[in-house]
């Protein structure tokens, strides 16, 4: 920390006004300091803070980066997420998964604050186990969708910082994608992208998947073609978004199970 001499130097540097800067991970604060004995007369229990107030701020949230994408088809759902974990401008890991299979028919993809994402997954796993115990069958995808919404809303006034996308096959075997906000509002959509790279991907999906603003005939896409589109989309997001890169983990969900594909991206 600081010695007497360096403190005196710092005080002089600020033109003799009694302020000592301290640097923390939350930013810089200036503490009121007097090194003379005249502080005796100001011996109140709050150590003079009321006379010289300063503010410290702690944010419980941190954005750990990443992008997720999910697309539904007639009998499949494709869900993908990059594998980079970052904090500020630093990369903490190049190989962390954002995808979590809740049942063998549905996968949750979450970007946001990693600790909140991990806790949310634990809570969902437990609640899903309880359901399977009570109903003697695993949860269907629309039921998981509702469960996730309710779980998020329980924390309405101190939310989970997680941008979720749920993908799976519904009870008829058709692909289902649900997109969420942080407090549980959800909707079944043909595709969904969330996280730091969502602005780069959503217009592309509008054009290629929903066929908007196009005059040529819309043809139905199989899962292999959709996976190629997803790879292209993540190459784009990896180029233009600093928080997206390293690799993409893709899962293809059909009524027969989940197929995993790993695709490397630029590591810059």
Site for other proteins, rule CB under 8 A: 197, 199-204, 206-207, 212-214, 232-233, 235-237, 239-240
Residue closer to other proteins by CB (options 176, 233) is 233
Q: How far is the CB of 50 from other proteins (least distance, A)?
A: 38
- The two tokens of residue 188 are 């079944």
Nearer to other proteins among residue 79 and residue 201 (C-beta): 201
Q: Rounded CA gap, 196 and 266, in Å?
A: 17
CB 206, min distance to other proteins, A: 5
Nearest CB to other proteins, comparing residues 55 and 213:
213
- Smallest distance from other proteins to CB 69, Å: 11
Cα torsion angle, 93, 94, 100, 101, sign: negative
Closer residue to other proteins in complex, CB, 146/236? 236
Residue 196 CB, shortest distance to other proteins, in Å, is 10
Which helix or strand (DSSP H or E) is residue 63 part of? none
The answer to whether 92 touches 114, Cβ cutoff 8 Å, is no
Q: Which two tokens stand for residue 143?
A: 């039921």
Taking residue 36's Cβ as centre, other Cβ atoms within 10 Å add up to: 7
The total of other beta-carbon atoms located within 10 Å of residue 142's CB is: 16
- Where do we find the tokens 């893709």? 250
Closest approach of other proteins to the CB of residue 197, in Å = 8
Q: Which of 178, 151, 176, 180 is nearest to 163 (CA)?
A: 180
Which is closer to other proteins, CB of 178 or CB of 200?
A: 200
In angstroms, give the least distance from the CB of 2 to other proteins: 38
* Angle at CA of residue 53, ends 31 and 44, nearest 5°: 90
Say what angle helices 198-208 and 223-240 make with each other, to 10 degrees: 150
């Amino acid at each position: 920390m600081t010695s007497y001499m360096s403190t005196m130097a710092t005080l002089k540097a600020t033109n003799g006004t009694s302020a000592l800067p301290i640097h923390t991970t939350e930013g810089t604060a200036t503490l009121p300091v007097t090194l003379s004995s005249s502080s005796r007369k100001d011996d109140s229990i709050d150590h003079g803070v009321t006379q010289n107030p300063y503010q410290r701020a702690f944010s419980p949230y941190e954005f750990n980066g990443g992008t997720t994408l999910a697309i539904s088809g007639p009998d499949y759902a494709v869900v993908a997420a990059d594998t980079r974990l970052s904090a500020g401008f630093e990369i903490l890991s190049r190989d962390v998964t954002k995808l979590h299979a809740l049942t063998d028919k549905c996968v949750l993809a979450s970007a946001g604050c990693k600790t909140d994402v991990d806790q949310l997954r634990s809570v969902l796993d437990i609640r899903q186990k309880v359901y399977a115990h009570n109903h003697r069958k695993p949860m269907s995808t629309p039921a998981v969708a509702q469960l996730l919404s309710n779980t998020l809303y329980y924390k309405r006034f101190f939310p989970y910082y997680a941008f979720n996308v749920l993908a799976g096959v519904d009870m008829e075997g058709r692909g289902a994608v649900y997109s969420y906000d942080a407090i549980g509002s959800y909707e079944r959509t043909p595709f969904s992208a969330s996280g730091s790279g969502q602005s780069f991907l959503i217009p592309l999906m509008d054009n290629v998947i929903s066929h908007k603003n196009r005059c040529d005939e819309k043809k139905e896409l199989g899962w292999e073609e959709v996976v190629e589109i997803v790879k292209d989309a993540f190459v784009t997001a990896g180029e233009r978004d600093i928080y997206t890169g390293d690799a993409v983990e893709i899962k293809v969900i059909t009524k027969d199970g989940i197929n995993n594909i790993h695709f490397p991206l630029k590591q810059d």
